[in-house]
Every structure is written in C-alpha cells, then in structure tokens.
Structure 1
Amino acid sequence: MPMSAARHILTLSCPDRPGIVAKVSAALYEGGFNVLEAQQFDDLETGSFFMRVAFDGAKDTADVAKLTAAFDTLAVAYGMTLSLRPAARRKRVMLMVSRFDHCLADLLYRWRSGELKMDVVGVIANYPRETYDNIDFGAIPFHHLPVDQQTKMEQELQVWETI
C-alpha cells in the first residue's frame, strides 16, 4: 500500500508585487506537491499581500526540508514572513469577545462539535463574566480585561501578557 502524502499549510505575507502567486505555485510544483486549496488577499491600502495554501505530496521529512529551503530563498527575495506546518497540527487559540456573544457562541459550538480543529486555551473579554451567563465555558479559562479610551494601551499589554 503506498504511503499517504502528508498535508501541509503554508501562510505568508509580504509587500505586494507581481509574480508572488506564480513563484509560490512553481516552488510547490517543482517540489512535487499538489495544491489542494489556495486563498490570497491584496490589501490595497497597505500594499501588503497575504496567502494561504493547503497542499499535499510530501512523502517524508526530506521533501518538506527541500520545500522549506526553497521558501526560505523566496522569503528573502520577496521580503516574506511565512509559516509552514502540518495540517494535522491543531492551533492553540485564545478567543477574544466584546459585549455581544453570538460569534463566541458560534465558535465554541463549532469547536465542541469538531468542525473547528483547534485547542481553545482561553477567552479574553472586555466585559465581566456575568455578561455571558448563557455561554457554557466549561473548563475554558476566562479573562476579564476591561478597557476604555484612557486604558486602551494598558489593556492591549494585558492581552499580550495573557496570551
């Protein structure tokens, strides 16, 4: 039975310019990888380019090492910040919520049902826990970090310390 190809996720950002998608696609093709899905976004206000590519084709770690070397070269040439990870690796996620809880409820539901493959490590809110009495947090840590115009910078530092 043939060995299955491991799926990976590549995310990158860099200053926008022509040819980025072509170079990324060529590096994947030349490495023997197959693109499963790709999304891109050009931020016209900042001139930044963002891309996420899911692909497979890696039979072993040597394939991934060669691809990493190819992307390191691209990163230098295009000023890219990039991340390459196995698709099976779950993301650790800190959820941040304001007063209205409908999005939080949806995210927690989809996480609990297995639709969102992530590990929820906590919730940060700028309103007290009682505001979300209808939400079942279970054992998820809840962090109340209030904010107003005068304390915005201080609260942002607290968020980073909590994360």
Structure 2
Amino acid sequence: MKLKTAPWIFTASCPSIIGTVDVVTRYMAQAGNYVDEIHSFDDRESGLFFIRIEFLPQNADFNEATFKAEFAERAAEFSMDWSLTAPNHKPKVAIMVSKYDHCLNDLLYRFRTGQLNIDVTVIISNHPDLEDLAKWHGIPYYHLPITAETKLEQEAKVRALIEEYDTELVVLARYMQVLSPSMCEYLDGRAINIHHSLLPGFKGARPYHQAWEKGVKMVGATAHYVNNDLDEGPIISQGIQVVNHAHYAEDLIAKGQDIERVTLFNAVKCHVEKRVFLNGKRTVVFGG
C-alpha cells in the first residue's frame, strides 16, 4: 500500500529514442517510488520526448541527493534534461501590475488560501493605485513610474528587485507596458503574461468597445510566456465565452476580465506544478 504523502515531481525532455519511458519508470520501481501520476508525449515534428511524473517515495529513508546521483547516470545515456522538485517547494513569484486589479486580486486570494503553491514575495507597478492591496497582504510594493525616456532605467530597477527577491517566476497580471527586447530575453521562460483574445483581433485603445461595434460573438483570454513578439509568446492556457447582441461593451469587459483571471491562474498553476514544457515556439502542457 502506498504511503500517503505529498508527491515529488519529476520532469524530463530528451530526443525521441527507444527506452525513454522505460529508463524513468524502471528506476522509479527499483528505487521504491510509487508512480502516482504520469504523462508523456512524443512530438514527431520536433523529435523530442517529454515526461512528467508525480511519485511517492515508499522508503522512509528517501534521499534527494541519492536519487539525483543514481538517475544522472541513466539520464546521460539519453541526453536527458531533467529536474526533481520537492513537495514543499514554493516558487518565489513577483507580480507586475498597472491599474487593473482583477488578476492581482485573484492571484493573491489563491495564494492566501493555498490554491496556488507559491510565495508571492514582491509586487511591482508603474502606478501607485494598488499599494493598499499589497499592504493588506503584507507584501512589499514598489512603485516604479515609467516613460519612454526612462524605460530602460525603470527596467533595470525591476531586474534588481527580481534578483533581490530570488524570483523564480514573474507574472504580468495586466501590466500595461511593452517590455524591451533585452527585458524579454532576461525573462525568457520565466515570465507569464495575460491578454484579451478577440476574433477578429482588435489592437489599440478600447479593444472591447471595438469588438462590441463589430458585434463579436465570443470573448476570451490567452496566457503565454513572454518573448520579444508582442503577445505572441508560447501559449500556456486559453479561455473563451460565448456572447451575443444583448451584451454591451461594459458587459464584454466584465466577462473578459473574468476569463483573464481564471486563464492566468490556470497558466501559473500549470507552470509551478511543472506541467509546462517549452517546445520551440510551442508548449507541451500536461493536465492535472
């Protein structure tokens, strides 16, 4: 009978060759680790293999260092890039936000109630509006104004805070600024952004009002990793909702904000649970 404890998480990727699943599962069995959840995917386009396992050590003397040393020898044969995450690990998260508070409020609530296994260590904003919300949660809040002339200087301060708080993930919870190419490169693979998704696409000011004028029948949101292509980074999660002629612009905004907060939560949760793998410009996302 398996011991009931919080699971360890094992993830790996490597070239697609025979024996990739076997080398992992065989070691798990030999080491006395009960595999509680397993997902794998072999991408015939990229020629890469991806695997994620949640496992429960059945030996009371389970040792992380021993696991890493023993499995490293086997992984080397497959050129495997792999990681092991302890059950008690809470990634340190920095949240960046401007004035809209719906995504920030949602993330802080889920953080406070334990729905998100993260440690929100700092909130950074280009406006002072949400400082009281941060203070209520006991989280440091930094107001760093930005203009076109001070953009690089402001981003340097943001980087310093990210380093100071040992940040593992940056969440752009409706941070209404375009990051510079150097900042995008700095945050590659460890920053998640959320934005509206409307068909057809509406850019510029008041997108929901533009959408209402065109009579859209669907609103949505996309959460993705940040890269230098504006709002076009590798997608993690998306959400949609059907609307009709009875929904006015303000209704579309309200529904859009609801979808944004849930979609961003899903993306952050998948990331911190190690369910997301970068696969070129795309992602592999294993559901829970």
TM-score normalised according to structure 2 size: 0.43
> Match of 2:201?
none
Superposition map of 1:1-163 within 5 A? 7-12=7-12, 14-18=13-17, 19-40=19-40, 50-62=50-62, 64-97=64-97, 100-125=100-125, 127-130=126-129, 132=130, 135-138=133-136, 139-145=138-144, 157-163=156-162
Query: Per the alignment, in what secondary structure is the counterpart of residue 116 of structure 1?
Result: coil
Tell whether the 8 Å contact from 2:40 to 2:51 is kept in structure 1 after alignment: yes
8 Å CA contact 1:28, 1:67 repeated in 2: no
- Does the C-alpha gap of structure 1 residues 141 and 5 become closer, same or farther in structure 2, counting only changes over 3 Å? closer
Query: What is the rounded CA distance, in whole Å, between the counterparts of 1:110 and 1:162 in structure 2?
Result: 23
Distance 1:109 1:147 in 2: 28
Amino acid paired to 2:16: R
Describe the superposition over 1:67-101 as per-residue Cα deviations: whole angstroms up to 9, x where unpaired: 22232124433334433232023332223345543
Q: Output the amino acid matched with 2:77.
A: A
For structure 2, the residue ranges without an aligned partner over 5 or more in a row are: 163-288
Q: Percent identity?
A: 35
Structure number with the bigger relative contact order (C-alpha 8 A, sep ≥ 6) is 1
CA contact (8 A) 2:99 2:127 kept: no
Taking a change above 3 Å as real, the CA distance of residues 100 and 30 of structure 1, as seen in their structure-2 partners, is: farther
Length-normalised TM-score, structure 1: 0.67
Whole-angstrom distance in 1 between the partners of 2:45 and 2:159? 26
Aligned residues: 159
Residue 133 to residue 67, structure 1, CA distance change in 2 (3 Å): closer
What are the ranges of 5 or more consecutive residues in structure 1 without an aligned counterpart? none
When residues 112 and 151 of structure 1 are mapped into structure 2, their CA distance, relative to the original with a 3 A threshold, is same
